[in-house]
Chains A and B, each alone.
Chain A
């Protein structure tokens, strides 16, 4: 039921926010250099099951995604394998430059504990009211399903909608007559 709802919501007016990510500011702490965030976020790479984002020194990951404009976040999809995929995922809206040491300093905007269904692609619907005015999103992956040393994430997709903002490209200069 909820799966159908969320699927509908995605079809209704939520779009994949991939186009609104400001790639120049995207950061990921504790990622392995050969398995980086692009494998999970970018078009094409994220569909490839062989390409994963992997953690390095331990199983936690801290991902910072700024957006080019203000968005509302409706749901996220986090895909991974059953053993190494993420379990507890905390989301922080509009917090810049977080580090592993201050993730516990303030409460997350939302927390998701991923089930095997989620890891196969079922979206996690978030508390929409908390994500009405999001300029940047920080995703903290706290642990993984089996408690292993390395967390592997195959895909991260964000669904939501944009707040009406001025499209600068659409602004046309008034022609002088």
Chain B
């Protein structure tokens, strides 16, 4: 999302009549230009783009850098081909147009479509490149169309003299099946310098090529819209947390059944259960243990606080009581559950492995990694000793 002012230099010489890019070189170029304009303005709303033509009667600026996409696209209509491209003049006039941009904080960039033979000498191009580098203007060259001896070398020399820290790029597009714009989408011309792609380019690429190019989770580029991306991420996490809590509640409803089994079954029964119980217990106890403090009464109060925070856990507890055969005094609303301390302690003790005496609870926490069997057995043994 670099703030940038771009000048696009279009080659509208006679060489553009050729049909080796479909439908014609000129049309392919025009499509590519429209895509670039869209990508630039979308990646940062304050970006500006301008257009000039290099051939015809002479270099002509069609649009000075503006962020109005409509104006840019409309000036592309009705362009005529003819004459010879004056590359040097085109680049220099583009630099002049950029110098007079309204927002001086924008980085300067020139994109040149070099489709016809270059009549300038290498030396002259290098001097131009140095001048651009001195004024910190970046240059992107699209080499397509006419292939001529020495053209790639001249363009390489130009790129080399301009390039400062890889801000300038060159792309070769050979004629063939793929449209010019499709090839360009995946190049740094569209994607900028290591940004990973603008949303526009990603959408276009997804349409044109196989597979989504977008690297971003929610189809929103954090570069473009960080607040939106953050909001989406946060809401996704909340949703996930809510779903986990719902799953936990569902599992805890299943738990009373397993608990009643345990109350009457042998240790072998226990073996199959610890995994479910353990996870549930882990969550339930972790909630209560979140608030530091380690004696049982405090633990009860914390339990109630925790359930204040987590209505679903409270509901689960309530339901587990209703289903289970733990206590005769089974209050039916959540508020009573929260208020009744003795009840809470009895709930805690009824959960196998959880003790009002915290050392065991701590042991349970230590055994969360799945080594619960010996612990649970020990707790089973101790449980008859506990007051219910």
Contact = CB atoms under 8 A, between A and B. Distances in A.
Contacts of A30: 133-136
Nearest to A96: B104
A97 B164 CA distance: 20
A107 B166 CA distance: 36
A56 B104 contact: no
Contacts of A58: 130, 134
Interface residues of A, number: 12
> Which of B130, B131, B134 has the largest number of chain A CB atoms within 10 A?
B134
A97 B136 CA distance: 13
B120 interface: no
B99 interface: yes
Nearest to A55: B134
Given A57-B130, A97-B104, A101-B99, A33 B136 contact: no
Given A33-B164, A56-B164, A99 B135 contact: yes
Given A57-B130, A58-B130, A100 B164 contact: no
A91 B68 CA distance: 38
A30 B99 CA distance: 15
B165 A57 contact: no
A58 B135 CA distance: 11
A58 B130 CA distance: 8
Interface string A4-46: 0000000000000000000000000110010000000000000
Contacts of B133: 30, 56-57
A56 B99 contact: no
B130 A99 contact: no
Which one of A29, A33, A57 has the highest number of Cβ atoms from chain B below 10 Å of its Cβ? A57
Contacts of B99: 99, 101
A65 to B, nearest CB: 16
Nearest to B136: A29
Contacts, number: 28
Contacts of B134: 29-30, 56-58, 60, 100
Contacts of A101: 99, 135
Contacts of B130: 57-58
A92 to B, nearest CB: 16
A100 B165 contact: no
A100 B104 contact: no
Nearest to A33: B165
B183 to A, nearest CB: 30
A61 to B, nearest CB: 10
Nearest to B105: A97
Contacts of B164: 33, 56
Contacts of B131: 57
A101 B135 CA distance: 9
Nearest to B132: A57
Contacts of B136: 29-30
Contacts of A33: 164-165
A151 to B, nearest CB: 13
A60 B135 CA distance: 11
Interface string B133-167: 11110000000000000000000000001001100
Interface string B161-189: 10011000000000000000000000000
Interface string A91-109: 0000011011100000000
A33 B99 CA distance: 22
Given A57-B161, A97-B104, 9 more contacts: A29-B135, A29-B136, A56-B134, A56-B164, A57-B131, A58-B134, A60-B134, A99-B135, A100-B134
List 3 A-B pairs, minimum CB-CB distance, nearest first: A57-B130, A57-B134, A97-B104
28 contacts: A29-B134, A29-B135, A29-B136, A30-B133, A30-B134, A30-B135, A30-B136, A33-B164, A33-B165, A56-B133, A56-B134, A56-B164, A57-B130, A57-B131, A57-B133, A57-B134, A57-B161, A58-B130, A58-B134, A60-B134, A96-B104, A97-B104, A99-B99, A99-B135, A100-B134, A100-B135, A101-B99, A101-B135
